[in-house]
Amino acid sequence: MMLTLLALVIWLGAWALNHRLSRLNAPWVGTLAPIIFGVTLLLMWELLVRGLNVSGVILPPPSAIWVSFMRNLPTLWQDLVQTVFKGALSGYIIGVISAFVVALLADRFAFLRRGLLPVGGFLSALPIVGTAPIFVMWFGFGWQSKAAVVVAMVFFPLLVNIVAGLRDTTVQQRDLMTTYAASYWQVLLKLRLPAAMPFIFNGLKISTTLALIGAIVAEFFGSPTQGLGFRIDASRGRLALDVVWSAIVMSAIAGSLFYGPVALVERAVTFWHPSQRK
pLDDT, residue 132, reads: 78
Pick out the chain residues at pLDDT < 50.
none
pLDDT, residue 30, reads: 66
pLDDT, residue 275, reads: 63
pLDDT, residue 29, reads: 65
Alpha carbon distance 10, 153 (integer Å): 41
pLDDT, residue 277, reads: 59
pLDDT, residue 57, reads: 76
